[in-house]
């Protein structure tokens, strides 16, 4: 939510300068100002958003109340995932959403002021020459290489990424939509029995196969994702999940 009015960009160059200003502010929030940003994202507060402003500053604030909003809105509720993830993973997740938001704002201006095909292409090329916020925050800024070599390497990295994702443990998420097939490993069957006999540590309802559940790695209680404000997408980035009760206990200690 931008408290100070800014000039509305109307040309490709103006939209790009707006993009760069907002991008610089977001990078500050996730790097040099990260301690301040972390403190402002209190999970006990309402849904919060991270805004980058055209003057290279940033702010954490509630979403705008007007519907539809004047500009596309950033990811909502970034504060809820803060204590359930490793800090670097949480910052990386916010960075990815910030990259998506910047593109949405830039091309919103393009659509609003009737950019044609060539103007949209030029805007994207100007944006694409800059490292993403995610690349800056994680230190994975990719250097330009020969196109053919780059194409081959990107193919390898994508395939390796798929393998690593598939090999990650899935104990934090329970998504069962079909009757389980016969398993050779008895351990897997035992774990499934435990899940089906569980009740939500927040609302007390019994386990349901059509709902997303997550288990606290500290107290080992199960919770509906909706009860603890964790979605399947957020859970993929959580290495060790702590329920709200365990998080508050650690904070008091």
Cβ atoms 230, 84 nearer than 8 A = yes
189 in any annotated domain: no
- Side-chain-facing half-sphere of 35: CA atoms under 13 Å: 1
**Residue 143 CB neighbour total at 10 angstroms:** 6
Q: Domain limits at 105?
A: 12-138
Of the chain, the end-to-end C-alpha distance in Å amounts to 35
Under the banding of pLDDT at 50, 70 and 90, the label for residue 229 is confident
Structure confidence by residue, pLDDT tens digits, 92-108 = 999 999 999 999 999 99
The confidence score (pLDDT) of residue 156 equals: 45
Same structural domain for residues 126 and 42? yes
Domain boundary among 106, 138, 170: 138
107 in any annotated domain: yes
Same structural domain for residues 208 and 131? no
Same structural domain for residues 123 and 215? no
Structure confidence by residue, pLDDT tens digits, 162-182 = 333 333 344 444 433 333 344
Same structural domain for residues 29 and 120? yes
166 in any annotated domain: no
Question: Tell me, what CATH number does 231's domain have?
Answer: 3.30.40.10
Q: 33 CB contacts (<8 Å, ≥6 apart)?
A: 58
pTM (2 d.p.): 0.56
* Separation CA 41–CA 49 (nearest Å): 9
């Amino acid at each position: 939510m931008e408290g100070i009015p800014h000039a509305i960009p109307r040309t490709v160059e103006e939209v790009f300068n707006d993009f760069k200003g907002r991008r610089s502010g977001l990078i500050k929030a996730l790097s040099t100002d990260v301690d301040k940003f972390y403190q402002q994202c209190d999970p006990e507060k309402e849904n919060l958003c991270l805004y980058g402003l055209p003057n290279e500053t940033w702010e954490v604030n509630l979403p705008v109340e007007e519907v539809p909003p004047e500009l596309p809105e950033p990811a909502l509720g970034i504060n809820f995932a803060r204590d359930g993830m490793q800090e670097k993973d949480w910052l990386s997740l916010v960075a990815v959403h910030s990259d998506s938001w910047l593109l949405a704002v830039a091309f919103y201006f393009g659509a609003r002021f009737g950019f044609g095909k060539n103007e949209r292409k030029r805007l994207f090329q100007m944006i694409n020459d800059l490292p993403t916020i995610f690349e800056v925050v994680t230190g994975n800024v990719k250097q330009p290489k020969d196109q053919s070599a780059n194409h081959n390497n990107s193919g390898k990295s994508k395939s390796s990424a798929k393998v690593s994702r598939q090999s990650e443990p899935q104990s934090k998420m329970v998504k069962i939509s079909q009757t389980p097939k016969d398993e050779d490993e008895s351990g897997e069957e035992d774990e499934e029995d435990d899940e089906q006999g569980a009740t939500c540590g927040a609302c007390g309802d019994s386990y349901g196969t059509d709902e997303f559940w997550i288990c606290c790695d500290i107290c080992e209680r199960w919770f509906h994702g909706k009860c603890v404000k964790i979605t399947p997408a957020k859970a993929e980035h959580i290495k060790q999940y702590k329920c709200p009760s365990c998080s508050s206990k650690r904070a008091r200690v």
